[in-house]
Amino acid sequence: MTIKTCIFDAYGTLFDVNAAARIAASESGRETLAAVWPKLAEDWRSKQLEYSWLRTVAHRHIDFWQITQDSLDWAMEASDLHDNELRARLLAVYKELPAFPEVPAMLEAVKAKGLEVAILSNGSPSMLVSAVRSAGIGPYLDDVLSVEEVRTFKPHTSVYDMVFDRFGRSQSEVLFVSSNGWDAAAAAAYGFATVWVNRNGLPVDRLYGRPHRILKDLSSVPELV
């Protein structure tokens, strides 16, 4: 079956989630953050995902922006950072995360092939609007789908159902691209053709699905469609 729709995860896939801590740490007067920013970024991201999964299992949904704030608070405390101004700065940068360098040209090339292109993300609508606008990738997207429509997080199947509800494509007509191994695995089990963007060279997750392709970055995605 020919791929007709290409769906991308947002955070960590199109947008660099480590950039908020890295950018803030590079600013004048941020020496304390500069010493610990890689740990802060890692803790922030791991708690962000952990909280989304736990809230899904417990049926206690809140939007991803609140989860992002809660996970930052945990990460800052774990690094002994108690600075409200720094917290505000980190969140401000997170709202406008940069895209990875290859993203604009990759999306333009996929769109030029006549495919429908969209984001499917845990992010709240306001987060996604800000990130898409600041990265300048809006012209390449047919839609931006937020889990707030179904009020649960990935990898719940109702999230992947949103692609069918929006585009009406069968699973085999969809290429799903994510930098999260668990997300790519779940999407593969759902029936999508999947790409795992494994930027860090991690092992494949032992789950109920397995990504069909593994890439180091997004630059070769247009060749797959």
Q: At what angle do helices 125-135 and 64-78 cross, to 10 degrees?
A: 80
Instruction: Name every residue whose Cβ is closer than 8 Å to that of residue 21 and which is 6 or more positions away in sequence.
Output: 33, 37, 38, 40, 41, 44, 90
Concerning whether 161 is annotated as a catalytic residue, the answer is no
- Token pair for residue 67? 């989860």
Q: Catalytic residue among 9, 16, 43, 183, which?
A: 9
Buried b or exposed e, range 99-117, using 16+ CB within 10 angstroms: bbeebbebbebbbeeebbb
Residues that are catalytic: 9
